[in-house]
């Protein structure tokens, strides 16, 4: 059964190109270590809600946007293995003070599969 790590990340608009470079590196590292799918997208059609929304989830500040990301693995065991290898990979060893986002406001979690369609075939109907 598939397992997914999901993330919401506040990124300063002025550092979006820096973040893109980090995301491209992350995609390569995670794929190299066995992730099945890797996706990062920047907010485009993200309305402000009346009670909560993506912006509030990361406590967005003036001049920031939100990145929504997810990584798909074969299973929770696979995720644990891939994550350990990716985090130990020398390509991911960086000075936290140079990161192009505020990790303290990053929202993340792991999710077991409930319903999944990854595009291999169209669902019936």
| Domain ranges (residues) in the chain | 1-63
Q: Render the chain in DSSP notation, one character per residue.
A: --EEEEEEEEEEGGGHHHHHHHHHHHHHHHHHTT-SEEEEEE-SS-PPPSS--HHHHTT--TTEEEEEEEEEESSHHHHHHHHHHHHHSGGG---GGG-SS-GGG-EEEEEE-SS---SSSPPP-
* pTM confidence score: 0.89
Mean pLDDT of the chain: 93
pLDDT at 120 > cutoff 70: no
pLDDT at 1 > cutoff 70: yes
pLDDT at 51: 93
Domain 1-63 has CATH 3.30.70.100: yes
């Amino acid at each position: 059964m598939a397992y997914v790590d999901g993330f919401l990340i506040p990124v300063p608009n002025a550092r979006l190109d820096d973040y893109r470079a980090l995301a491209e590196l992350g995609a390569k590292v995670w794929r190299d270590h066995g992730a099945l799918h890797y996706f990062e997208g920047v907010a485009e059609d993200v309305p402000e809600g009346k009670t909560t929304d993506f912006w509030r989830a990361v406590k967005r500040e003036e001049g920031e946007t939100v990145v929504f990301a997810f990584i798909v693995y074969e299973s929770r065991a696979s995720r644990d293995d891939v994550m350990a290898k990716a985090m130990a990979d020398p390509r991911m060893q960086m000075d936290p003070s140079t990161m192009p986002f505020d990790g303290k406001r990053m929202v993340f979690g792991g999710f077991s599969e409930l319903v999944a369609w990854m595009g291999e075939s169209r669902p019936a109907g």
